Amino acid sequence: MIKRSFFALSKPRLTYDLLEPDPDGPRAIPLPDLVTLLLTEAIDNTRPALIKKGDPMKKGQKLALYEDSTAYVVSPVAGTIKSIDTYPDDFGEIATSITIAHDPEKTSEIEPLELPEDISSAAVHLKKLPGAPPFDILADENFTIRTIVITGADTDLLTTTSQYVSTAHARDLEQGAAILKRLTGTARVCLALPEGINGHNRFNSLQVLKTSPVYPDTLPAMIMKDHLDTVLPAGKTPEDMGICFIRAEAVVSLARTYEKKALVFEKHLTLVDKAGFRHRIKAVIGTPLRHIFNQLDIQINDQDRVIIGGPMQGSATFTTHHPVTPETDTVVVQDREILPKISDTPCINCGKCIQICPASIPVNMLVRFLEVDQFEEAAEKGDLEACIECGLCGFVCTSQIALGQYIRLGKHELHKLRAEV
């Protein structure tokens, strides 16, 4: 089995977008009439459900499908459940969407929050905060986390969400980091921030790791190698190596929740429109993208592409009803006129993908296995698990093969296969 880590790094030439020296604050998107929350559990009609259409909702109320469900969402508004439906996720797996009709007349809110004093109760109450704190990982006794890295450096191109949140809310970030240390007992909490932006001197209590402007140097595996002297072996996760990454916004949200003794729901995001103009906005979790497009006068035509995430790692959504989630940092809209044509040209073995891959993966061989659903062979002979999902191979592919999508789906199917054994 090939188990190569990426010590032979090539230097791709794409660079991250850096935050402006004096950035404007975000535009606040008004609350929509309907919010939609995505739950990572499928409906099972044979079991008695805890929630149903017509149920009244309080702001801050936790919603789960069944008594023993660990997946939950939190209502950001007071109102009534309008519908509960199945919803296919990125890989076609069935999840559930819960739509709540917001009633502006209702102001009912749950009692002031009892603030978690340990990481297990944080996982039970706070993992749906904006920024999606990885409390499940931090609470998992199978991992011994020695270092937490707060990602103030955005991991994809075109976006500046994390840079903005970390530097504009530096005080909250430091307070949130102190709470995180208290909850987890982790001695080392540091902040990854791009070199070349203003704001490094705003942090007194956090070690700042200055990341390079070259893509993909802010991806977790690269930060581990360049700043933490730790090579991520193929098939392992950062937490396997004692390192946990958390978005800056999750840390800021944690500080605000403790300060207000109430959950917070506003998510910052960068929206790049068809002309390439960057909008900094904040919207309540659950806001459908089409509501944001309407507010910004962005017309979505048939066959335009809406990408959740950045251009290198994001995935296209099939519906503008897709809501803002705790993880949504970036949305990119591409005009149908400038989309690369779908190609069915086979691989011509030009080798460009191999030259640019920072993990030295034989991508041309890997994709042959993935095209025919040979996932174990893709892992053993194509080094699938060493991929850091930077998307560079798909970006340079002469035949315009959707390599990144093949790889993400391949990893997902491989995990499923192994879980079944």
Separation of alpha carbons 352 and 331, rounded Å: 28
What minimum distance in Å lies between the beta carbon of 355 and ligand SF4?
A: 9
Q: Tell me: does residue 349 bind ligand SF4 (CB under 6 A).
A: yes
- Residue 1's Cβ-count burial label (10 Å; 0-12, 13-18, 19+) is exposed
Work out which of 126, 263, 361, 370 binds ligand SF4, going by CB under 6 A.
361
Give 308 or 366: the residue with its C-beta nearer to ligand SF4: 366
What minimum distance in Å lies between the beta carbon of 216 and ligand SF4?
A: 7
**DSSP per residue over 299-364, as a string?**
---TT-EEEES-TTT-EE-S-TTPBP-TT--EEEEE-GGGSPPP--PPP----HHHHH-TT---HH
Work out which of 133, 152, 358, 410 binds ligand SF4, going by CB under 6 A.
358
Q: Tell me: does residue 399 bind ligand SF4 (CB under 6 A).
A: yes
* Residue 421, C-beta contacts closer than 8 angstroms, at least 6 positions apart: none
Work out which of 55, 335, 371, 389 binds ligand SF4, going by CB under 6 A.
389
Q: Tell me: does residue 364 bind ligand SF4 (CB under 6 A).
A: yes
Separation of alpha carbons 144 and 167, rounded Å: 29
Q: Tell me: does residue 353 bind ligand SF4 (CB under 6 A).
A: yes
Scanning the structure block, which residue is given the tokens 């090939």?
2
Number of chain positions touching ligand SF4 (CB under 6 A): 30
Q: Tell me: does residue 391 bind ligand SF4 (CB under 6 A).
A: yes
| Contact in structure between 237 and 37 (CB atoms under 8 Å) | no
Work out which of 177, 407, 411, 414 binds ligand SF4, going by CB under 6 A.
407
Q: Tell me: does residue 10 bind ligand SF4 (CB under 6 A).
A: no
Work out which of 388, 406, 410, 414 binds ligand SF4, going by CB under 6 A.
388
Q: Which stretch binds ligand SF4 (CB under 6 A): 112-120, 188-196, 294-302, 360-368?
A: 360-368
Separation of alpha carbons 106 and 178, rounded Å: 35
Cis peptide before 216 (omega within 30 of 0): yes
Site for ligand SF4 in 188-217 (CB under 6 A): none
- Considering only CA atoms, give the Rg of the chain: 21
Give 291 or 408: the residue with its C-beta nearer to ligand SF4: 408
Nearest to 67 by CA among 86, 41, 89, 95: 41
Give 225 or 352: the residue with its C-beta nearer to ligand SF4: 352
Please compute, for residue 170, the number of CA atoms within 13 A of its CA located in the half-sphere on the CB side: 14
Q: Which stretch binds ligand SF4 (CB under 6 A): 115-123, 278-286, 326-334, 351-359?
A: 351-359
Interface positions with ligand SF4 (CB under 6 A) = 347-353, 356-359, 361, 363-364, 367, 387-393, 396-399, 401, 403-404, 407
